Structure 1
Amino acid sequence: MSPNTIFALFCVLALLAFLSVKRIPEGTVYTLRRFDGHARTLKPGTHVVVPLVERVVHRIPLTGCELAVNEQIVLDGTPRQLKGQLYWQVLDPERADTMIDRADELIRIRALNAMRDVDAPAHESFDLRNARLKRALNDNLRDRGVVVTRVQLHLV
């Protein structure tokens, strides 16, 4: 073998070794997928992966997320504006992995449905309505590995 071939082979091996080490930051979980569909979850720390076979599919933050809500809804036959924020967090990354790409939309839709499911929600107090929405959302989302930590919505 020529020296150039040995050098090129050494560079390729060094690159593969460099790509096989993943550093996962605190407060984050990575989901890896292989070509055959097998998935695994990497928690914070340094991990060895199989380069070119496994790829990072999701970077799931565990510290919490904020979802702004600004929706027009009809309550008691009257169009109303629902504004505010929902705060949510991933508790179980393995279960949340299947829906993490569409989590904001799923939480928004479930919040609107929970608001519509109650008779006269416009007559509830601000705190009572938000506590009820939080409870309804958590009953609905906990099986998906997600929990709503705070609801701050108001009707305009």
Structure 2
Amino acid sequence: MNIELAVAVAFLALALMIVLGAIKIVPQGREYTVERFGRYTRTLKPGITFLTPFVEGVGRRINMMEQVLEVPRQEVITKDNVMVQVDGIVFIQVMDAAAAAYRVDNLHNAIAQLAMTNLRTVVGSMELDEVLSQRDHINSRLLDVIDQATGPWGVKLARIEIKDLQPPPDITDAMARQMKAERERRAVITEADGEKQAAVTRAEGLKQAAILQAEGRREAAYRDAEARERAAQAEAKATELVSNAIAAGDVNAINYFVAQKYVEAFAKLAESPQQRTVIVPADMASLVGAISGVSELLKSAPATVAGPPPSAPRRSPAPRTGPAVPPSEV
């Protein structure tokens, strides 16, 4: 009984092992290849699958998710003979599990070596300035070349990027000095442009000021001419009125006219800055007579407007009396 029980337990354990070996569960993002007596037959997708015991087995377990591979750092000589150190990263995704499993050995190493050789070829065909300024162009060229090479392996290159690019220290120092000189040159040009614009603006301001001043002088001259014309018209009107008064026989008009001119001449003589001494005649009777004539003219102005009296006798000027007084110095 014990022997039979042990044999039954052994057969049960073997059957359980066979059943568990025939059931395969493929996780998401993975694919398994199935081999029958060492030959590839099919690819298992994510999920549960039953295999034929002792006949079929899992060959390769392939990662179908996008993967990142690092391209090792290497020294590359550019077209202008400058040694630079370059490394990068490659993003790949397996599209065909069978091709990736059976058409290339060590897929990751193969892609890394392929990226290194093509990176050396592309960078070596360009000058240092182009390498530093055209990374996108380098990435696109590498992507086209490596993608075509890995197509038969069932791999799709999503993108490739240059991670770091280091020129020699002396080249880096020279580039820093060049950049500094370029910045200083731009600063000088910008400052010169600013000074130029400021000079142009100042010149425009002076031009506008000169134009406005000329227009002001022209307007002032026009106003002065108009004022002189008005003064001349007023003078002519006054002369005409005095002439009419003289023609009408009014002696006070003559006295007013003479007194006005006398006073104006005397005022101009007194206002002269070089004249410190003014000579005035001692006989002031004529001036007093002229002023009295002005007062009489002002008194008779309303009567003149209304009309002179019909029988107003004319008065002759009073004769001068008294001895002549010599002129005195004021």
State the TM-score bracket (shorter-chain normalisation). Answer: 0.7 to 0.9
1:103 aligns with 2:104: no
Paired AA for residue 19 in structure 1: G
Shift of 1:55: 3.5
CA contact (8 A) 1:41 1:94 kept: yes
**Alignment size in residue pairs:** 155
Shift of 1:102: 1.3
Shift of 1:11: 1.8
SS of alignment partner, residue 116 of structure 1: helix
Shift of 1:53: 4.2
CA contact (8 A) 1:73 1:79 kept: yes
CA contact (8 A) 2:71 2:116 kept: no
- Choose between structure 1 and 2: higher strand proportion: 1
Shift of 1:79: 3.5
Give the whole-Å Cα distance in 2 for the aligned partners of 1:73 and 1:99: 30
- C-alpha distance 43-107 of structure 1, shift in aligned 2 (>3 A): same
Of residues 90, 97, 103, the one that matches 1:93 is 97
Paired AA for residue 74 in structure 2: Q
Paired AA for residue 71 in structure 2: V
Paired AA for residue 159 in structure 2: R
Q: Which moved more, 1:18-27 or 1:98-107?
A: 98-107
Give the whole-Å Cα distance in 1 for the aligned partners of 2:84 and 2:102: 33
Give the whole-Å Cα distance in 1 for the aligned partners of 2:48 and 2:127: 49
1:143 aligns with 2:145: no
- Structural RMSD (CA): 2.1
- Output the TM-score relative to the length of structure 1: 0.86
Give the whole-Å Cα distance in 1 for the aligned partners of 2:70 and 2:156: 16
CA radius of gyration, larger in: 2
Give the whole-Å Cα distance in 1 for the aligned partners of 2:58 and 2:154: 20
- C-alpha distance 11-101 of structure 1, shift in aligned 2 (>3 A): same
CA contact (8 A) 2:104 2:153 kept: no
Q: Which runs of 5+ in 2 are unaligned?
A: 167-330
Q: Which moved more, 1:129-138 or 1:101-110?
A: 101-110
CA contact (8 A) 1:27 1:63 kept: yes
Of residues 143, 156, 179, the one that matches 1:134 is 143
Of residues 116, 120, 130, the one that matches 2:126 is 120
- Output the TM-score relative to the length of structure 2: 0.43
For residue 66 of structure 1, what is the aligned residue in structure 2?
68
Give the whole-Å Cα distance in 1 for the aligned partners of 2:154 and 2:64: 11
- Choose between structure 1 and 2: higher helix proportion: 2
For residue 37 of structure 1, what is the aligned residue in structure 2?
38
Shift of 1:61: 1.0
